[in-house]
Amino acid sequence: METQLIKAVEFLKSQTGDFLPQTGIILGTGLSKLADEIEVLHVFPYQQIPGFVEATVEFHQSRLIFGYIASRPVVCMQGRFHYYEGYNMAQISFPVRVMHALGIQTMLVSNAAGGLNPAFSESSLMIINDHISQFLPDNPLRGKHNFGGDRFPDMSEPYDQELIAAAISIANELQIEGVHQGVYVSVTGPQLETKAEYRMLRMLGADAVGMSTIPEVMMARQLNLKVFGMSVITDMCIPETLKKAELSKILAAAAIAEPKMTLIFKELIKRNL
């Protein structure tokens, strides 16, 4: 392990003692309320943790929380790092390596995304069942192979089928409406896409588009973590009916969907898959 990773893990372990998180959670834009469900043991602002950069987006919090959800030990990133903030892929995916070194086996990740599939609607949810990474100009796995795992990690099934099936049955059991499945494509941002770009992304097989998640998922798969991902559809991106994007509307749509997403994440953790 390189020095920075050792430093981060040593620092966190020196503060959290015997606490052994099983599940790592990354909360996306406007989706930080799951953190309120944590029986909190420790909170670390990112600037305290060696190797962590600062989340620069003002509506993102930036702290790592240790505690319990449904009696299960978790570590939760309230706020994440994006390529559009100017960070490189190593910085963006570093927290995943730290959470892995702390002992997590499963990673749950959420994001706000634009809906490309016309069957979706604003504030609906999409369980991510596959992704397209190739629009990102870089990749956290490129370079010296010192992460452990395979040099050419398999990506035939980045999202865990058992967790996907469990999320679907949770949505059915709890009668949570508007839960879809689909392919997430990542772009760099920060600008939103043009109509021509939305048309292209749809034609290439994507159901939702966003500016995060895939670098973290690639690193998690490199480290052999089980991954579950969910997008909250905050705006519909159909070229023919596209409206001007407004951050306030995106955040409002995220807030409407957030309780549904929070419930599904909480139930998944409770079922301990």
Residue among 8, 7, 20, 24 at smallest CA distance from 99: 24
Examine residue 112 and tell whether it contacts ligand HPA (CB under 6 A).
yes
Does residue 237 touch ligand HPA according to CB under 6 A?
yes
Is 234 a binder of ligand HPA (CB under 6 A)?
yes
Any contact of residue 113 with ligand HPA (CB under 6 A)? yes
Does position 250 bind ligand HPA by CB under 6 A? yes
**Do residues 57 and 98 lie in contact, with contact meaning Cβ atoms separated by under 8 Å?**
no
Per-residue contact flags (x/-) with ligand HPA for residues 177 to 216, judged by CB under 6 A: ---------------xx---------------xxx-----
Q: How far is the CB of 72 from ligand HPA (least distance, A)?
A: 29
The one segment of 37-45, 61-69, 84-92, 234-242 that binds ligand HPA by CB under 6 A: 234-242
122: contact with ligand HPA by CB under 6 A: no
Q: Which is nearer to ligand HPA, 23 or 213 (CB)?
A: 213
What CA–CA distance (Å, rounded) separates 146 from 144?
6
Per CB under 6 A, does 114 bind ligand HPA? Answer: yes
Q: Are 75 and 65 in contact (CB under 8 A)?
A: yes
Gap between the terminal Cα atoms of the chain: 28
Residues 50-69 touching ligand HPA, rule: CB under 6 A, are none
* Phi and psi at residue 92, to the nearest 5°: -65, -35
Distances (CA, A) of 162 to 116, 157, 174, 213, 272: 26, 11, 18, 20, 11
Residues that bind ligand HPA (CB under 6 A): 112-114, 192-193, 209-211, 234-235, 237, 250
